Structure 1
Amino acid sequence: MSDHHHAHNHLPQDTRQTVRRVLWLTLGLNLFVMGLKWIIGALTGSLSLQADALHSFTDSANNVLGLFANRFSSPEPDRDHPYGHQKFEAIGALGIAMFLGIACFEILQGAIAKLFIGQSETNISLNELSWLVLVLGINIFVAFYERNIGRKINSPILLADAKHTMGDIWVTLLVMFGLLGVWQAKVWGLPQFQWLDIILAFPVAALVFYSAWEVLTDNLPWLVDETAIAPEAIHQHVMAIPGVINCHDIASRGLLGRQVFIEMHLITTAEDVTTAHAITEAVEAKLKNIYAPARIMVHVEPRPYISDHIALDGYIDKSSYN
């Protein structure tokens, strides 16, 4: 029983409750921000602000997606998902990246159309600009709040969301700068400033695209079972354990710090199963200490199976040995 209990300590904690609370709160704030930007964008005819509203729309979509993924991504294994459910969260993050890509395309399309069709007037008043300051304040709060809690509980969905909201802060600053220019264009009689609004739609789109790319590269290794830890590093730790003669065919997957799965073949000095088991327990304890949360599978083999294949590249099937 104690052994079973010991294994459970190394499961990632279930932080879904906290994640859900954060996501609901930020969803409310993001919807408010999106509505405000869209209304001001429509009133003033500002393309960069409408693009920014689209950016905020993806923020809200992310929250909804996050809540959806959160319902399914329990780290606890069950009968149907013996390796836990955390890939659901990574799939959620991929959906976020897809949303961002689409939003990016929409923004560029609108900006290019306006450049070719010619400029429609953008009118902005100080009143509308002051509302944008409030929007900025909310964005800054959401980003730092999510990032803090995301780091504290190590939640990929909160960190991806916070990263996106951080992008939102810069975008809103850029757009405000452009609209200040448009507002001043009237005062100074500089019609060139009218173009600022359209020109700024391009960097806004680029920022949206960049955040999509970052979310993708953070989550793909987890989904395609990329090697989580260099086999040589694991080999070095295992070989240092008394009683280990050889360790080969080491594989790992998952994401370090989130959850890793490690497997290996081991040859020990032990003559009986009980002693061999004690050595594998020492191997598991050491690796869990270094790479937790981790689930480790050790396959003990007899002496003739000694191999110098540390990793699984150039994999040789043992059953074909004579």
Structure 2
Amino acid sequence: MTIDQRPTVRRVLIITLVLNLLVMILKAVVGFLTGSLSLLSDALHSVTDSANNILGLVASRFSSPEPDREHPYGHQKYEAVGALGIAAFLGIACFEILSGAIERILYPPTEPLRISAVELWLLLIVLGINIFVAFYERHIGQKIGNAILIADAKHTMSDIWVTITVLAGLLAFWMGGARFPWLQWLDVGLAFPVALLVFSSGWSVLQDNLPWLVDEMAIAPEAIYSIAMKVEGVLNCHEIASRGVVGRQVFIEMHLIVNVTDVETSHQITEEIEAQLLEQYGPARIVIHVEPPRYYSDQISFSQSNPDIPLEES
């Protein structure tokens, strides 16, 4: 049985949305005051933070784990779809940052870069807010196994490194810009590693959620086979399949041959297997198809057998 964690997810996303809007406004204001390209790029990155929170709220609204007539397997893939939306926003942000940097190189600004101690302190406040948001979201996301919060936390974690990078460049210019005017080009140069960090975050989110959407194997069939074969009365287990994400929800199916002839005892054996699989990999929905002995097979999974595991004779 799965637990509906959507109220918790919505509460976290609303809190982080408010904080991300504050961060975005502070970065944009300081960016316009200083004329810093890297900081304005970072502000654009923060726009995607807020957009991600809104997207997460929408995805969470539709991601109920409970099945219904139209969605007998539940709605949790909406979480993965929402996470892919976050990856798309990150890709757009990366493109915009690179475009701005190249444009600044081709058409240098007439106004020089300028920065004050007050603006640097504002950026330190922004950094502190980002750190809180990232660790708060990651903690709750890992605690309840929510893809949207975990993906958004990775996004915000990239924002931390982006802000640190931008802050280091502006600090270097603030300390030595009067003697070394060329340091203002450091601001343009920092836009490229910022874009790389944003792209890396998007790629990570994509890798985490594509397996769920394409029904990639969730649990090695050999591991499921090992658990099933330890239950008393089991003669053979084959055609094992699984999908989903361990810790969120897993779907497992298998064919089973048992050393009994009555339905009641066969059912008790399948329930024992289900109980052990739930303890190891739950929450899960498990379907076990009991077959007569003549269907004995050494094919543990589809299109692949495992010669390393000796199968018992019927």
Determine if the TM-score, normalized by the shorter chain, exceeds 0.5: yes
Work out which of the residue numbers 234, 238, 248 in structure 2 matches 1:258.
248
- Preserved CA contact (<8 Å) 1:185 1:192: no
1:262 counterpart letter in structure 2? I
Is 1:64 equivalent to 2:54 in the alignment?
yes
Aligned equivalent of 1:140: 131
Is 1:83 equivalent to 2:77 in the alignment?
no
> What does 1:272-311 correspond to in 2, within 5 Å?
272-311=262-301
**Please, which runs of 5 or more residues in structure 1 have no aligned partner?**
1-10, 316-322
CA distance in 2, matches of 1:137, 1:52: 15
- C-alpha deviation, 1:119, in angstroms: 4.8
Aligned equivalent of 2:120: 129
CA distance in 2, matches of 1:116, 1:168: 27
Is 1:214 equivalent to 2:208 in the alignment?
no
- Preserved CA contact (<8 Å) 1:59 1:164: yes
Aligned equivalent of 2:230: 240
2:163 counterpart letter in structure 1? T
2:160 counterpart letter in structure 1? I
Aligned equivalent of 2:220: 230
Aligned equivalent of 2:312: none
TM-score (norm 1): 0.92
- C-alpha deviation, 1:182, in angstroms: 2.1
- Preserved CA contact (<8 Å) 1:185 1:194: no
Give the secondary-structure state (helix, strand or coil) at the position aligned to 2:79.
Answer: helix
CA distance in 2, matches of 1:161, 1:53: 16
Aligned equivalent of 2:98: 108
- C-alpha deviation, 1:205, in angstroms: 0.4
CA distance in 2, matches of 1:152, 1:260: 17
- Preserved CA contact (<8 Å) 1:268 1:276: yes
Give the secondary-structure state (helix, strand or coil) at the position aligned to 1:296.
Answer: strand
CA distance in 2, matches of 1:147, 1:141: 10
Cα root mean square deviation, aligned: 1.3
Runs of 4+ residues deviating >6 angstroms = none
Give the secondary-structure state (helix, strand or coil) at the position aligned to 2:177.
Answer: helix
Aligned equivalent of 1:46: 36
CA distance in 2, matches of 1:314, 1:62: 40
Aligned equivalent of 1:318: none
TM-score (norm 2): 0.94
- Which segment drifts farther, 178-187 or 204-213? 178-187
Aligned equivalent of 2:310: none
CA distance in 1, matches of 2:136, 2:269: 45
- C-alpha deviation, 1:186, in angstroms: 3.3
Identical columns (%): 65
CA distance in 2, matches of 1:240, 1:127: 67
Give the secondary-structure state (helix, strand or coil) at the position aligned to 1:226.
Answer: coil
- C-alpha deviation, 1:151, in angstroms: 2.0
- C-alpha deviation, 1:162, in angstroms: 1.2
CA distance in 2, matches of 1:125, 1:282: 68
Aligned equivalent of 1:320: none
Work out which of the residue numbers 145, 152, 159 in structure 2 matches 1:161.
152
- C-alpha deviation, 1:116, in angstroms: 2.3
CA distances 1:61-111 after superposition (whole Å, capped 9, x unpaired): 110011001101111112221111110010000000001001101101111
CA distances 1:239-282 after superposition (whole Å, capped 9, x unpaired): 11111111000000000111100000001111121221111111
